Structure 1
Amino acid sequence: MKSPWKSTATTVVLTAALLASATPALAAADPKSAVVKPAVQAPLSYTLTQDLQVEIKTVVNEKTPDGTRLGAVVRIKNTGAKLVRVPEYEVRLKTKDGVEYKLQPSLGSPKSIQPKSQAELSYLTTVDSAGGVELGELTWVDIDVYVYPKKETPKLSIPITEVAWSGTDNAEIPSASVKKWGESFAIPSLDTPLEFKLSNISRNYEGNKASSIVQVLLTNPSKKREKLPDIVLEGKSGLKTYDSALVESGVALEPGEQKYVHFVIPTELNTELDAFNIVTTEKYINDQKEPVTYRVGRVHVLLPDKQSDALLIQGKYAFGEAMKMDPLNNLIHPDMSVSLVELHMEENEGDGFNTAIAKFRLTNKSSRPLGVPSFATDLVSSDGYTYSGSRQGQTSIRVLPNASYIVSYSYVLPASETGEELKLALYEAQGSASPEAKTPASAGGPDKDGKDASASDAAAGASLKGAVSFKSLLTAYKVDVQPQPESKDLFALYPLNVKVNLWDISAIYNLQQGYNYRLKLMLDIKQEKDVLIDRTFSQLQFDMYDSGGTLISSISHPFFGQNKLQNGTNILNFSPNTEELGYPITIKVYEAFENDKGETVKRLLGSFKQ
């Protein structure tokens, strides 16, 4: 865990540049100074000289063990046709009670600006003010030291009209920087047109480690290629802050393109996140040529009260309809439709838990074979618990043209689960990745390499190393559990309807084996048109119980291949090899398949008792 705003509290302030509601001011003493009206959501730009325009990216007001660190990062633009030197004006932060603090320029800031281009200038100072300061404006002042007394001429003054960020441990967050979950937003202070939307969060457990994976949708609305700026997504739980790692690297979007990126946030096992900060790292080089870095909050995104409500759903699902998939997914072919055709839940007698079984129909609408997609699924209960699905252990490799194929998933749920108001989510499992943790340090002092760091930073970075599994949301719906059919002579297991026209249980005795039993079934099996089954499809499992309820024999028969069940007469032999003739005998009939964990999953279809 890493908390970049600790009790030694980074209090970060964004200026009016972040806020569309900010009010620009003219230069205090320069009649030529004029405000350049910004486009919608763009940072406000101010005239510093004839060719130079200034906009504020960051203002920092940070408590440290040595006092209060004050600073600013400004973006300066040369609108002229030739190289322009940066004026050697003093840059000051003025408090609301009139105190002025001189800021020192970074040794890394450029001294001149190329024509029709821009650069960032960084300024910092530390003052002995343990009680903190309340900032009022950022000013540029021309100092003439060749006259006595020295002459000061104000050149530009920009008001800091609102506190836009006060650190993660501050409960007062300005409304302009707060976004709801699923809301799209831009970050004008980063000088990027990219739009962001936090679209999904999932949990991953590996051993005794836990992590939250946040899926972020990027949109490039501009007419040129744009790179993802260097941002970090911090997870918040109360006053605790958790660092993240970006899984993807070198992310860039073409004009009009949309793309997902994923941030992995390691936490304690029982941690529930309630919000996220999008932060950036600012860099400064002091007079000793030592780099200082600090983080600045840009946007605060709130999670719903229940994290499960962060799942963006399509609405209420109607069984059999084609699910609407995320068009950006790389798993489900556009000519492949996915439908949920069955969802049943029942109690496992004596085991203390329930089992849910979902069947998905994959339909190939093209004229060529398509591969069977291996998606992950979750069931989310009304009280926010998530139950991951286990896929059937074996599937076909591909789906034939103009045909459908069935894939089954099983879920283990507590016995208290009622199955009401469930949500079903499908994911594209991304396997594992080894993201590089970006853990910019708080500005607490340089480490042995001259870089700002702290022990907690190093620990946070170490916790992010190694392979991480993550997944991208394909779609999600509200779903209802289907009631079990009441007919005793019709077994419905999509795409089959098995009608039992006649059944009979008889006993056979011989000296070597004792009593064995035979079940005679007259079946009428009907199969849904164009829905194909193969050896991977579910089987019927027949469990035989004696009069005391003890399981004495069990057999299975497929619907495909050797020893399959068929229309007409079927003779099933049970061999409990008992010396006593049981009466009554009960045979329970289940639909059964083996999931990818090697477990046999079954659903009760009916029973025979004789």
Structure 2
Amino acid sequence: MNPQRKMKRLLSRSALLLTAASFLTLPLATSAFAGKEGVFLSDSVYFTLDKVSLSAGADDGSLRFSLGLNNHGNSTVDFNNYGVKVIDSNGITYTARLNEKVVARVKAGETETFKFTSAIPNNLSAADLKVDIFRWNYNSTSDIGALSVESAMTEAGQSLEQQTAINLKEIDTTLADDVLITAKLGRSYKVLKDGVWMVYSDLILENQNSTSVKLPDGLELNFQDSKGLTYGAQFVSSPGALLPEEPVTVTLQSAVSASLDTDHLSLVFSPKGKVKTTVLGTISAAKSFSVSKIGDKSAYPNTEDNAALNGLEISTSWASVNKQSDGLHVQANVTLTNTSEGIVTLPTLSAEIQALRGTVAVTSSDTAVRSAYLSPNESTTFHFQGVMPASLNAEGLQVVVLEKQTVVASTTPPSGASTNALNLPVAVTSLAGAGVAGEATSYAAAQSYKIGDVLKLTSNGNIDSNIEMSLVEFGLSVNSDFGYKTVVGKYKLTNKGTSTLTLPDFQSDLTNVDGYTYAGVRQTNVAKTIAPNTSYVLNYSYMVPDVEKADKLALNLYDTNRLAVGSYKTAVQSVPTTGPISVYPFTINLDDYNLSSTYNRDTSFSYRLRLDLTVERQAQVITDANFSSLLFEIVDSEGRLLTSKSMSFTGQQKIMSGVQFIDFGTVKSEQLNSGASINVYEVVATPNGDAKRLIKTIKP
């Protein structure tokens, strides 16, 4: 006999032995009352089947059920006259063991319930099984009738469960014979914690007895793989006293091998130190490991034990994986939705981004301020991010959502119970297909974009949904004296709401097709708020190498927490040779212009530019003292700067429609050049100095 099955065989042979005297019976099974099947002893006395639970462990199964003796007659009925067994479709019988001591004599007008457990093979379905009732005739038996397990389970809406039944008497001989608990697994997670791979499993325990009971210290739990390797499992929190028929969920944790195959993993119950010789029960853990896809929605785990979370739904609603110069930037939005009709408490969540291979993981937290509760149909989104090694790719990454929980230590110190705050997993999502693969660049992932169109931002709660943003101008200037170029992007932000909003402090960078990233710098001074139904213009400058053509760029936008809100394929605008000058929200038409020079008494010369302008603007776009200015530079035929003059769009000397004169500083006589031209720049003040965007070249 297999030593691992010895104790189970002994248990199954402990048949229910009852002495009996016979009386008239009706050997048939028929409808006892509407919707329920019964086996009748007379027209007023019958058996019914209730609370059927069919369990399949890793090695064997069990059938638990309650047999009701309904006595509507005029005299007492003694259950000792009858026996119970389980029969499968092939006629093989299995012993049914009474779970608890009860009064066998059922008085007239009363109903008594008798709870049984039967050890059966784990490959039997409910359709294969019947509960057979027989009458004792001294040393022989005679069948009375059988009740369908499938019918009883269908009526109660029950199904096959992966669970096992443990007789605690086999651990602690001081306990009564009928101390039985059942165990089944909820969700399991494989998580990298402090460089060690851990398995966390939600274990649901139920006391099948009529009195409270504690798990004996001699009970040992281990995870076992297909090779027979075992990994010790401990309770994260003490189960405490198990109340009768009251399911309790506790969390198990176990340090495991990084290469552990969860598809062939079992949870094994055994007496302490005897996992190799005595098995009390096993549960297959393979199907308990839950790894979602992006967008999948599922019920928040363990709400049965925490009514405050009942009705909560969790989903990794969006994720992005982009390769940048400093590594693989991973971002994920985790959305909680209240699908119930009541208010639910919002759990405290954090996240860990882990690589399936190796020991690489980064933690992330969302510091956004949010309500402690969710109303019916309300949702909230947590935003998590991290930077992983650039050699990884999205296919091998997961985001683990962790809940901060207060638990009672599984071992109690002499001074009393101790509590700890732990971050325990509640969801794992594969990032396969998020954004782009690790070897690609953010340019490949960026969406096509036309300058002037509204930027489609990913909603993450940090940028108000009433703020509409668009890129209205995007130009390049060469700074040949310093060996670099400057890209200037102008963004229009419009308040589509009905109240004043805070101007968002978003971040930005550019990535070229080869993966090189250039950080954006925001203009120095910015308004704090934006009124409803108005627009405001913001400028960002990007310093790029002199060799950068800037014809294939990805414009990446982030919120203040560096969470990506959009990525767009862009290219710098060419400088127009004809037509008006555009300095959004202004359009300047050069109706006429003339450049002249005058001789000064000190033998120097001065340039004067006469301009006849038509200046137009969009009324709803606000300009203030923070707005950019225009710089007019006179250069000779070799491109050398001779003199310059700046003008603004606000104040007394602002650029306006009509004839205006611009007087430049003096130049030496030898600098006079008949081939002089005028470069017109838009200038933006930034923390790194002035950024210039060439918008027009005037050749007098």
How far, CA to CA, are the matches of 2:516 and 2:61 in structure 1? 62
The Cα of 1:541 is off from its aligned counterpart by: 0.6
The answer to whether residue 176 in structure 2 is matched with residue 85 in structure 1 is: no
| Contact 1:43–1:189 (8 Å) recurs in 2 | no
The answer to whether residue 666 in structure 2 is matched with residue 576 in structure 1 is: yes
The answer to whether residue 624 in structure 2 is matched with residue 534 in structure 1 is: yes
The answer to whether residue 351 in structure 2 is matched with residue 261 in structure 1 is: no
How far, CA to CA, are the matches of 1:107 and 1:475 in structure 2? 41
Say which of 522, 545, 551 aligns to 1:414. 545
Matches within 5 A, 1:541-580: 541-580=631-670
In 2 relative to 1, CA 154–562 (structure 1 residues): closer, same or farther, beyond 3 Å?
A: same
The Cα of 1:609 is off from its aligned counterpart by: 3.9
Say which of 28, 45, 59 aligns to 2:60. 28
| Contact 2:683–2:691 (8 Å) recurs in 1 | yes
Matches within 5 A, 1:155-174: 156-161=281-286
| Contact 1:85–1:112 (8 Å) recurs in 2 | yes
How far, CA to CA, are the matches of 1:53 and 1:340 in structure 2? 59
Letter in 2 for 1:31: L
Larger radius of gyration: 2
| Residue of structure 2 equivalent to 1:305 | 437
Which segment is superposed worse, 361-370 or 311-320?
A: 311-320
| Residue of structure 2 equivalent to 1:344 | 475
The Cα of 1:572 is off from its aligned counterpart by: 0.9
| Contact 1:592–1:600 (8 Å) recurs in 2 | no
| Residue of structure 2 equivalent to 1:495 | 585
Q: Percent identity between the aligned chains?
A: 18
The answer to whether residue 479 in structure 2 is matched with residue 359 in structure 1 is: no
Letter in 2 for 1:75: L
Residue-by-residue CA offset, 1:372-409 (whole Å, 9 max, x unaligned): 33322233333333333222222344445533332222
Say which of 138, 157, 171 aligns to 2:267. 138
The answer to whether residue 454 in structure 2 is matched with residue 322 in structure 1 is: yes
How far, CA to CA, are the matches of 2:680 and 2:455 in structure 1? 28
Say which of 354, 364, 367 aligns to 1:248. 367
Larger RCO of the pair (alpha carbons < 8 Å, separation 6+): 1
Letter in 2 for 1:109: S
The runs of 5 or more residues in structure 2 that have no matched partner are: 1-54, 65-116, 118-124, 127-152, 167-179, 304-311
The Cα of 1:544 is off from its aligned counterpart by: 1.7
The runs of 5 or more residues in structure 1 that have no matched partner are: 1-22, 63-67, 146-151, 165-175, 430-469
How far, CA to CA, are the matches of 2:684 and 2:191 in structure 1? 60
Letter in 1 for 2:659: T
The Cα of 1:200 is off from its aligned counterpart by: 4.2
How far, CA to CA, are the matches of 2:671 and 2:255 in structure 1? 95
Say which of 654, 669, 693 aligns to 1:603. 693
In 2 relative to 1, CA 596–340 (structure 1 residues): closer, same or farther, beyond 3 Å?
A: same
Residue-by-residue CA offset, 1:26-75 (whole Å, 9 max, x unaligned): 883643269999xxxx996536378745215559899xxxxx99988552
The answer to whether residue 185 in structure 2 is matched with residue 55 in structure 1 is: yes
Letter in 2 for 1:112: A
The answer to whether residue 623 in structure 2 is matched with residue 520 in structure 1 is: no
The answer to whether residue 534 in structure 2 is matched with residue 403 in structure 1 is: yes
Provide TM-score, normalisation by structure 2: 0.59
How far, CA to CA, are the matches of 1:347 and 1:210 in structure 2? 30
How far, CA to CA, are the matches of 1:61 and 1:70 in structure 2? 5
| Residue of structure 2 equivalent to 1:423 | 554
In 2 relative to 1, CA 419–291 (structure 1 residues): closer, same or farther, beyond 3 Å?
A: same
Residue-by-residue CA offset, 1:328-369 (whole Å, 9 max, x unaligned): 4243362x4222222233444354433222222223445655
Letter in 2 for 1:241: V
| Residue of structure 1 equivalent to 2:163 | 46
How far, CA to CA, are the matches of 1:308 and 1:97 in structure 2? 38
The answer to whether residue 331 in structure 2 is matched with residue 214 in structure 1 is: yes
How far, CA to CA, are the matches of 2:356 and 2:264 in structure 1? 29
Secondary structure of 1:511 counterpart: coil
Residue-by-residue CA offset, 1:539-580 (whole Å, 9 max, x unaligned): 221112234432121110112212112222111111134243
Residue-by-residue CA offset, 1:500-535 (whole Å, 9 max, x unaligned): 122222222222362111111111222234334333
The Cα of 1:593 is off from its aligned counterpart by: 2.5
Secondary structure of 1:580 counterpart: helix
In 2 relative to 1, CA 591–185 (structure 1 residues): closer, same or farther, beyond 3 Å?
A: farther
Residue-by-residue CA offset, 1:134-156 (whole Å, 9 max, x unaligned): 9663344689x9xxxxxx99764
Matches within 5 A, 1:80-159: 84-86=212-214, 88=216, 90-91=219-220, 93=222, 109-114=238-243, 116-120=246-250, 122=252, 137-140=266-269, 156-159=281-284
How far, CA to CA, are the matches of 1:61 and 1:603 in structure 2? 50
Letter in 1 for 2:612: M
How far, CA to CA, are the matches of 2:637 and 2:61 in structure 1? 102
Matches within 5 A, 1:362-377: 362-366=493-497, 369-377=500-508
Say which of 228, 234, 239 aligns to 2:353. 234
Secondary structure of 2:670 counterpart: coil
The Cα of 1:132 is off from its aligned counterpart by: 12
Say which of 485, 495, 520 aligns to 1:389. 520
| Residue of structure 1 equivalent to 2:574 | 483
Matches within 5 A, 1:447-486: 470-486=561-577
The Cα of 1:161 is off from its aligned counterpart by: 4.6
| Residue of structure 2 equivalent to 1:452 | none
| Contact 1:194–1:226 (8 Å) recurs in 2 | no
| Residue of structure 1 equivalent to 2:4 | none
Residue-by-residue CA offset, 1:252-284 (whole Å, 9 max, x unaligned): 66254443434464778x787755344569998
| Contact 1:136–1:160 (8 Å) recurs in 2 | yes
How far, CA to CA, are the matches of 1:546 and 1:75 in structure 2? 82
Provide TM-score, normalisation by structure 1: 0.66
| Contact 2:499–2:531 (8 Å) recurs in 1 | yes
How far, CA to CA, are the matches of 2:256 and 2:621 in structure 1? 73
Letter in 1 for 2:485: N
The Cα of 1:158 is off from its aligned counterpart by: 1.8
| Residue of structure 2 equivalent to 1:454 | none
| Residue of structure 2 equivalent to 1:461 | none
The CA RMSD measured in Å over matched residues stands at 5.2
How far, CA to CA, are the matches of 1:485 and 1:357 in structure 2? 16
